[in-house]
Structures are given as structure tokens and as C-alpha cells.
Structure 1
Amino acid sequence: MDLSIAALHAAYRDGVLTPADLVTQLRARIQAHAAHNAWVTVLDDEALAPLLARLAGHSPDTLPLYGVPFAIKDNIDLAGVPTTAGCEAFASTPGTSATVVARLIQAGAVPLGKTTLDQFATGLVGTRSPWGACRNAFDPAYISGGSSAGSAVAVALGEVTFSLGTDTAGSGRVPAAFNNLIGVKPTRGRWSTHGIVPACRSLDCPSLFALNPDDARCIMAVLDGVDCKDPFSRAGPPVSGPLTGYRLGVPLPAQRRFFGDAPQHYARLFDDTVARFAALGAELVEIDFAPFAETASLLYDGPWLAERYHAIRTLMTRQPDALLPVTREIIERGALPSAVDTFDAMYRLQSLRAQAQRVMRDVDVMLVPSAGAHFRIDAVQAAPVQRNTELGYYTNFVNLLDMAAMAVPAAFTDDGLPFGVTLIGPAFSDEYLLALAHQWLAQADLPCGATGRHWQAGPVPSPPGRIPLLVCGAHLSGLPLNTQLTERGAFLLESTHTAPCYRLYALAGGPPLRPGMARVSDGGAAIEVEIWSVPEAALGSFVAGIPAPLGIGKVALADGRRVSGFICEPQGLETATDITAFGGWRSYLASL
């Protein structure tokens, strides 16, 4: 079954599927995969009834996530369902849902239940659960990654369309890499943490696991928005960049760590991935990773552990044996740092932040492995703290440095296990990172999770703060007026064709020679065009320089989209030459 939002909505519109039918099928699938230990609570008919009833009178045309099934990490509240955070002694039943859950339900999504996690979201392994280790979707002998273990596995196995996790130290990225998923670690504060059990409250983020960029984009839009219930909630202007020629920072080879991973060849796979990004148009820049690595070490070796202790200090004082030994060992250290220790660490972090900012000034985005190795469950159980520390090398620094991150599938090892990388940018670069992920995955041709299905990629959307602009003549790549676009920071999104309802004309005058394109009711043809991404702030000056009879209007494309682009006023065509038969301006110029 194709669980993408587009496929589900098409099935609902065609009447071949209902949300209730889908839920029944998916609960059977969850039961069949029970050995993976991905779920804590699966909602029964009684609990699901009011959630499905909310959809009455609606359709995919009125609710953006109508009938879309999702899973919730069990440190995020769902009204009427216990929240355990991986510890039964801590469990309580909330009367209201977390803000992120409520927004999804209001948009039509249907929660199927709560998923397993490393206890109190303390771990990147997925093995620290009283319900047993969560097993990888591709090989149950390997870890799923954590702490959002069950959330990732449920999506990878095709049990839900998407899921919510959390990410303080990499919990939304490591499981994504190990289960061949997109993992969105948003800018801190962009999505509300109200109704989420804190790990490190000043650093926590909800996270998102999705099978394809189109679904991720739709869900991100629903989750966005400042929440007055969350004092850490915030908004900011989008940070963007080009899709070609962007500066891609990669750690110096001597600073890359793969933790004895020779059998899986992560080092080779990362080198191959970097080379493929370069082939897509990235300019590679080797960067000093030292300030990022040292920042990562602060998270568990510094006073931020006190935040974890603060979140559950009553339980730690009254029932310390309620915690798993490894979890207790880690969190109880949070009672030790003094106020002086805290300020020492804050000052060091500020120094490292300044160093990291200097590094990032030379690049648009950073690319790192999502993890340096993928361990078997028995290897993690033999050395739980060491293996967990190694998994955080490329992840722990991101929230401390207030950055956004997007984990994406990259390749498979010789043993058939996924290898993933993470794109990292400044705060509020989330949509830009997703656009780069879209571009990457469109050519990677990788399956979605462990479902075996492949995503049918469409054109890369223009990043935020930019407007797609169609050109058909002298502004095409390499032609005389193209610099009017490039000098304004525009870049090429795609080459395509209009719908077959236009005629193309060579206008009188020049140089430079210019065409005019006009829509007709019959006798039209598809015209070869390009679509460029233009910064919003630069579009006004560009449009102001367009001479009559040309102008900007809406142009229909062959795939049904309508974008802003060049059109021509009718009076300008009176002395023009019809060149429609050439199919485009370049072919006409070649004929001259």
C-alpha cells in the first residue's frame, strides 16, 4: 500500500478507501510486526472512534491531512492515552494533547498510538526501554537508533505515513538514517514543545519522520506557528540559498570519525555521497569540524545534564530504581554540577558558538554523516555509554549551536543496511534544507523506508523568500540578458515546457533579439522555457526593467502548474514574426 499523502487522498477521492478501512489494515500490519517492539500503545476501536468521527463532512479538499495515519513518540501527549516516557512509574494520562498533536488532528490526521523510546529520551540507540530493544526495520539484529526509536521504525515498516519524535541530541536524525527516512530536526522553537516531557527543556525540539519530501513539506506547514503556551516558541525570517553553486561544508578528512566501521564502509559511502552532491552543483568546502565536535561533547559531559535531572527529579529522589540502570547512571550525574560549573560551560559554549559561526560564514550548508557507524544490539548492550557517545559525534552540537538539520537517506551498505547523511544550516533554514533534500532524493532513486516503494519526484520547489519566474527568451541560460537574473542572486530551478496553448513570436527591434509569448484558444503549442528562482527583494527591480510590450503574468505549464512568467501584450505582436514551429527561442536562434 502506498501511504503517501497524495496516494491516500487519491484513494479517498476515488472512493476505493476510507480512513476507517485504512486504520483496520494498518493495525493488522502493526500486529504482524510486533517483534520489532515499536509500539507502546495501539489505539483500540473505542479510542479511535471519536478521532475518525472528526472527519465526517470533510475530505482531502477541506483538510490537508485528511485520513493520514501517524504515530506519536511516547513522551508527547495524546489526550486520554497514558504518556510513559519509557517508564511506567512516571506514566500519567493527559486531558489534552500536545500542541503539535492537536494541530495534526485538527488538520485531519489520525493518530494510531504511541511508540517506544529510549527511556526519558536519554539515548541514541533505541535499546533503553522496559518493553525491550526496538529493532531495526531492515535487520532486527541491529539497533533502530533512538531515542525516537519506535516512531522511525513504524514509518519505515509502512505502518503509518509519518510520525512525531523529539530531538535534543540527534534523536530525530540517527533513527532516520538507520531506517532510510527523512528526519526533520527543525529550528528550536519553531514547533511547540507544549505537552512534551522535557529532556533538556532549553534544547528540545519535536521532530518529524517522513517517507518523502512532499509529505514532509505538507506536515511541516501544519506544525508551524508560535504557541503562547510554550515560552520557548518563536518565529523568524526564513534563511535561504541557491540550489546550484551553493557552498557545501564537509568536515576535514582527518576529523571524520567512523568508529571501527570497516565492515559497513561508511567512510567510502560518505565520500561517494559528497562526490554526488558536487555533481549536482555543490561547491565543496572542507571545514574545521573541531568547534562542532567540542560542542557535541558538552551535552553529556557538561551541566546540561542538570536539565534532564530537573525534568524527573521527583522520581529520581523517590523511586530511583524505577529507571533502567543505564538511564539512572546518566541522569543522576545531573545533580552534581554547581552554578559555577554551569557558567563555565556557558562561557565555553559562547566561545565555540563564535568559532562555529566563523566556519559557517564560508559555507551555505554543512553535510555530515548522520552517524559514524551502525551497531548491532548486542554491541550496544555490551558498551551502552560508549556506543551512544559515538553516535552523537555528528549530532549533539546542532541544538546547542541553534541550527536546523535535515537527515536524508544516501545509500545502502553491502549488507543492505541504510546509510544516511544530514544537511545542517542556520536557524530557520528548514525549508532551504528540505529543498536541497528534495533535489538530492530526486536523483538518488532510493526506496522509501523499508517499504520497497519509490518516490515519484516532482520539480524542486523554490526555497522560501524566493519566487519562481518563467523565462522564454533572452533571459534563458547563457543568453545575453541572463545576467539580469544571476546578478540578483537568481538560480535555475528547471527546464520545462508550457502547456500546448501558446504561440511564440520574434519581436521587432533589438539588439538583443527578444521573443513574445501569447496564449491562444486554439492552434497553440508547447514552448520550451526555464524557471528561475528569484529573491523576493530583487524581483521588483527586475520587473521594473522589462520593456513594453513584454510583461509578467501567469503561464500554464505542461504539468498543470501555473507560474509567473513573461507574456506579451497583443499590440506588440502586430509586427512580429510567428516562430512557434521552432518550439522555443533557442531553436529559432540556431536557425539564424
Structure 2
Amino acid sequence: MLPTILDIATLKDGYRRGAFSPIDVVEAVIARIAAWPDSAVWINRVGDTALREAARALVAAGVPGEDQPLWGIPFAVKDNIDCAGLPTTAACPAFAYDAEEDAYVVARLKAAGALLVGKTNLDQFATGLNGTRSPYGAPRSVFDERYVSGGSSSGSAVAVASGQVAFALGTDTAGSGRIPAAFNNLVGVKPSRGLLSSFGLVPACRSLDCITVLAPTAGDADLVRRVAEGYDPADPYSRTMQPASLPHDRFRFGVLAGSEREFYGDAEVERLYDAAILRLEGIGGIPVPIDYAPFRECAQLLYGGPFVAERLAAIESFFADHADEMDPTVRGIVAGAARYSAVDAFRGLYELEELRQRTAAEWAKMDVMLLPTAPTIYTVEAMRADPVTLNSNLGRYTNFVNLLDCAAIAVPAGFRKDELPAGVTLVGPAFADSALAALGDRLHRAAPFGMGRDRQAALPTASALTPSTTGLIPIVVVGAHLTGMPLNHQLIDGGGVHLKTCHTAPGYRLYVLPDTVPPKPGLVRDPAYRGGGLEVEVWGLPPAAFAAFVNAIPAPLGVGKITLDDGTSASGFLCEPYAIVGAREITELGGWRAYITESAATDSSVDA
């Protein structure tokens, strides 16, 4: 039985246990799409027959390889991102063209085993934060069809929140990946600029655009981001990750204060924001009131200044010939770019740098910022009646992020009394993506808001992210150093931190080493073995403790790189092959803990 929401961790666990296969999941996806009452979610889809064939091909190829951490995971792509064999419309039929190749990020996801389901609706040319500016219809919040889904990544959010796919790609120039996450009880990851290549993306503002990820949990979204990212010389704005850290405990987080707390009369969203502040305090944060004014003024530059001219630059030739075939609101926004000159553009850049200096004084007070993702939510009817003002209100706390080169993650913050969701966003410096994801995951798990439309769903423990571990070196343990085992104290005494419990990638075997006290296993890599992964733990050690720990490892054990089921690798215990000659293999038990349980049961029966 598949869950209501198709999160990655649960699907991978089901595949590993044989509870269902990608073929079963694809059948469920097809049925759910057909049954969902909102027909505005999708613009174009992979045909049902082709989708079934893709799933069968995955299964026929055998268990996933180490390079397929998204094996069998269904996903959607916002229809301003190219997918080979499907049209790219940017929600404008007159603009549509047939994509001949996948966008860089789509190709990476498919290579990792993910199953493309189709292309989702959006505010035309990604110009909007509400989801109503499309000739293909207006996707609605999964909680109340009277309300907007958020945009511009509207269809992507609804596809995930309704359980039709496990994750979706969106884009975010002014908040387009974060606001729909908030309105549908999802996580929205807005990566640092340039981490995800924009090759194959129809630009909105080429210098600011970010491809984003919408998913049920921060762990899922962060996994997809890590798989999709990579330096791409075909994208002139592509950058390589230079990881930035955040403190794990006693971190300072900036909060709104005074007249800058604007919720446009929505006391319920303000209440949920205040509750999120208390939860972040509860996990080690120190709230620091900040002056949001320079960030707000920066946000106003995006639509109220010359930066809007970049939207015209993106589609200039098309606009000249087909402006009358565009959404009227989008047409008006793009047309407004014509009133700005090159001189205005330079003045805008000067103003941005002045504001950057002012925001630097606020950043000196904090490590991360906690903001409402959106100050309120509107009905589709209200948005259509006043599309510019209300859309601008939605972007009050999002528009500045790309202009100031920040990373961000939006997470659920609970529900108003009328059962509509709200969200909050953690904003940090460029390249703090992994640290922000871990902090966002902790905040998300601090209160039970469910996932997507399923408010009762428990967040899978397997998708939990580790806290910021700057300065710690990860090590994979498989036997006597596991939590509760005889040698675990060696990790704890060295200042070790338990990071996560997970599985190895396929391709490892486990043996009971003879004559070891306490009993120890031997982990051996066997690339020809295609069985499921083995349960392990990842711990983090300070550098000095790591060195001492590794130096004390007795033969035949040693340290090498172990690949985990999410495609990452870390140092860990491996055994020299000579030591397993004649040893009992326990691979089929799934891990050392299962062997210890089996041994205890056997000893008990013998004693009886």
C-alpha cells in the first residue's frame, strides 16, 4: 500500500523491502493523476505507455547501482525547463517549441534513476508568485480550491502535495519555488545561484534565476539538489559549491520587529510565524530582532526598478511579434521594462550595492534569518481582481534573496484556523545550502504538520538530515561501534556525534570475523553483488579524535571509502579479503545488529 504522499525515503525503503516496485508506483501515479480534480496541474505528460515502459526497463536492469540514488522515484518538471521529447511552453502556447535534449539538471536526475512523469503548469514565463497567470488554468491549493496554489511553480507544488509525484523541479527568481511550497505544506529549496545549471531553462531573469526543488521533506529536497547540482560550462552563471557553515548550537537568527512585521491583516500567519520563532529557539537558536528595511527596499528593486528589464531581455524578439498572445498581466509587466534605460540599469546596480552594504550590518547580528515565506494567502478571485498589488504583497519576504546572493529553504509552519497552511523560510549566505537544509529539517520535525495534503503523515526518519557538522569528519561504522554496542563509547569519548542511521549502497557483503573480542564483522566490497544495502551508522569525529581512532584500528580492519544509499560516500571500516576466508557470511541479515539479535536468541534457546 503506497502512502498518500510519495516521499523518496518511503519509496526507497519499499523498494528495498520488496513491498512494491517502480512498476507499482507508476501505476499509482497514473491513477492519481486521472483522479485528481484539478486539471490545471499538468501542461504535457509522458504518455502512460512510455511511463510504464520506463519503469519496466528500470526493473529489468536489476537493483539500482551506486550512481542511482533516485532509482524509481517519479518526478515532475516545471514547463519552462526542457525535457527531451516534450514541448516547452513556459505557459505560452505561441512560444512553445519541441525540446530536443534534456536540461542539464533533468539529465542528471534521469541518470540517477528518477522517472520523469511530465511538465507542470506555471505563471507564464515564470512571471508571478500566485499561479493564476496561465492559459492552461490556475492550479489551486491542495487544501482549498478557492485559494491560489502559489507560483510561479504552481503545478509542480500541487503535483507533489497531492501525491502524484515524489518531487518536482521549479524555478525561483523572486520566490517562485518557496511561496507555492508554503501554500501546499511542502519544503521548497532555493539553492545558491549557479549551483544548479540553468542550461535548458527558459530564463525569466537570467542573472538571478535558480532551478529549485519542491518535496515533502528537507531531506528529500536536499538529496535531489545534491544529485542535480554540478558545474556546467554551458551555463555562464554556473558555480561550484564552496560550502559555508552555520553554528549547530546557539546560532543567532534574525526575526522581524516593529513596523517591518507586515502580514496585511493576517493575524493567523503572524501567529504561526511567532510559533516558529519559539520552535527555532527550542532547538538552540537565539532570536535577534533586525531592521528588515534594507532587505525590503532591495526586494522592491526586482519589480519596481530597472531589474524588470531583464525579463524583457529574456524574450525580446518573441515579445516584439507576439505580445498580444501573452497573459495580459505578464504582458504589462514585461512591457514596463521599456521605460528603463541603460543609465537606469547602472543606477539600479549602484542602489543594489548600497543596500548590500546596509544589509551587511544586519547580517553581522545573525547567522541565519527566519522570515514568513508569505505574509498571507489570497483567493483566486481576489488575485484576479487585483493581480499586481496582491502578487507584490506575496513577495514582500522573498524578492531580495537572489539579488543579495543568498540561499534559502522554505518549510511548513502549520495551519491557520481555517486549515490553510503557512510557511517560514530560513535564509543564509551563498553556499550554506547543506547547513540550511539540516536546520530546516530540524525546524520541520519540531512540530507535526504532516507532508503535503496529508496533515497526519509522519516525516520518515530515514530522510532526517544531520545538523551542521562543520569541523567533524564523518566515519561509517558497521559493527561493534554501533549505538549500544560494546565499542560505541570510543566514538562518544572522542567527542563523536551520531549523524544518521542509513544503508550502504548495493555491492557490499558482511561476514562474522572469527576469534574477535568483542565480536566484530568484516565489511567487504563486492561490485558484482547486487543485493540490498547493509544497515550502518555515520558518526562525526573531531579531526584529532578521528586520527587517533583510525590509528587504533586493528588488522584485518582498515579504513576506506564506503558508498551510501543516497549516493554519497564517507570513510568507514572495511576488511581485508584474506580475513573472511571460511568466515560466516551474514549479508542476508541486513546488518550487524540483526546478527547480534539472532545470536542472542540462539543462545537463549540453548540455555533453555
Q: 2:519 aligns with which of 502, 512, 521?
A: 521
Which residue of 242, 245, 262 corresponds with 1:240?
245
Aligned partner of 1:325 in structure 2 is: 328
Deviations 1:8-27 (A, max 9, x none): 23333444433233222212
Kept in 2, the 8 Å contact 1:36–1:137? The answer is no
Show the counterpart of 1:578: none
Query: What's the counterpart of residue 435 of structure 1?
Result: 438
C-alpha displacement of 1:253: 3.2
Mapped contact 1:36–1:135 kept (Cα < 8 A): no
Q: Secondary structure at the match of 1:172?
A: coil
The answer for the alignment partner of 2:460 in structure 1 is 456
- 1:435-462 C-alpha deviation (Å, 9 max, x unpaired): 1012122221221111342213356425
Match of 1:75 in 2: 80
Task: Report the Cα offset of residue 115 of structure 1.
Answer: 0.6
CA contact (8 A) 1:226 1:233 kept: yes
Matching residue of 2:61: 57
In structure 2, the CA distance between the partners of 1:95 and 1:550, relative to structure 1 (3 Å rule), is closer
Shift of 1:308: 0.8
Q: Does 1:467 align with 2:477?
A: no
2:130–2:151 Cα contact (<8 Å) kept: yes
On the 8 A contact 1:404/1:425 being kept in 2, the answer is yes
Specify the code of the residue in structure 2 equivalent to 1:109. A
Partners of 1:105 and 1:348 lie apart in 2 by: 42
Offset at residue 549 of structure 1 (A) = 8.1
Matches of 1:392 and 1:323 in 2, distance apart? 22
State yes or no: 1:18 paired with 2:21.
Answer: yes
CA separation in 1, counterparts of 2:500 and 2:153?
Answer: 40
* Corresponding residue of 2:129: 124
- Partner secondary structure for residue 306 of structure 2: coil
Contact 1:407–1:421 at 8 Å: present in 2 too? yes
User: What is the SS of the residue equivalent to 1:141?
Assistant: strand
| Cα distance, 1:253–1:494 mapped onto 2, change above 3 Å | farther
Q: Is 2:282 aligned against 1:279?
A: yes
| Other-structure match for 2:173 | 168
How far did residue 64 of structure 1 move? Answer: 1.1
Q: Secondary structure at the match of 1:203?
A: coil
1:406 paired to 2:409: yes
Q: Which moved more, 1:226-235 or 1:1-10?
A: 1-10
- TM-score, normalised to structure 1's length? 0.81
- Please show how residues 149-228 of structure 1 align to structure 2 within 5 Å: 149-228=154-233
Q: Distance in 2 between matches of 1:178 and 1:125?
A: 10
Q: Does 1:347 align with 2:350?
A: yes
Secondary structure in 2 aligned to 1:315? helix
Check the 8 A contact 2:126/2:152 in 1, yes or no: yes
How many Å separate the matches in 2 of 1:495 and 1:100? 27
Query: Residue 513 of structure 1 corresponds to which residue in structure 2?
Result: none
Mapped partners of 2:420, 2:15: distance in 1: 34
Q: Deviations over 1:448-500 (max 9, x none)?
A: 11134221335642536433589977997xxxx99xx6xxxx9x66899xxxx
Alignment correspondent of 1:504 = none
The answer as to 2:321 corresponding to 1:315 is: no
1:360 matched residue in structure 2? 363
The whole-number CA distance in structure 1 between the counterparts of 2:57 and 2:342 is 50
Aligned residue for 1:509?
A: none
Cα distance in 1 between the residues matched to 2:191 and 2:517 = 42
Residues 1:87 and 2:85 are matched in the alignment: no
The reply to whether residue 338 of structure 1 matches residue 341 of structure 2 is yes
Choose 14-23 or 445-454, whichever is displaced more: 14-23
Mapped partners of 1:107, 1:549: distance in 2: 37
Aligned-partner Cα distance in 2 for 1:352–1:204:
20
Aligned to 1:372: 375
Question: Deviation at 1:387?
Answer: 0.5
1:387-398, aligned counterparts within 5 Å? 387-398=390-401
How do residues 283-298 of structure 1 correspond to structure 2 at under 5 angstroms?
Answer: 283-298=286-301
Quote the Cα distance in structure 2 between the aligned partners of 1:126 and 1:468: 42
Cα distance between partner residues in 2 of 1:170 and 1:474:
46
CA distances 1:234-255 after superposition (whole Å, capped 9, x unpaired): 1132111222211111122321
Structure 2: which 5+ runs fail to align? 476-480, 482-486, 502-515, 521-536, 560-564, 573-608
Assess if the C-alpha contact under 8 Å between 2:279 and 2:446 holds in 1: no
Q: Is this contact kept in 2: 1:460–1:493, CA < 8 A?
A: no
The alpha-carbon deviation at position 59 of structure 1 amounts to 2.4
Alignment of 1:491-510 (within 5 A): none
Amino acid at match of 1:375: Y
Contact 1:36 1:140 (8 Å CA) reproduced? no
Q: Post-superposition shift, 1:74?
A: 0.6
Aligned sequence identity (%): 46
CA–CA separation in structure 1 for the residues paired with 2:132 and 2:122: 8
Q: 1:142 is matched with which residue: 127, 140, 147?
A: 147
Q: Contact 1:136–1:143 (CA<8 Å) still a contact in 2?
A: yes
* Superposed displacement of residue 109, structure 1: 0.6
Distance 1:58 1:463 in 2: 36
- Partner of 1:247: helix, strand, or coil? strand
How far residue 419 of structure 1 moved from its aligned partner, in angstroms, is 1.2
Cα deviations by residue, 1:400-459 (Å, 9 ceiling, x for unpaired): 000000000111111111111000000000000011012122221221111342213356
- Do structure 1's residue 426 and structure 2's residue 429 form an aligned pair? yes
Q: 1:473 to 1:423 in 2, by over 3 A?
A: same
Once residues 474 and 26 of structure 1 are traced to their aligned partners in structure 2, the CA distance between those partners, rounded to angstroms, is 47
Q: Which amino acid aligns with 1:96?
A: E
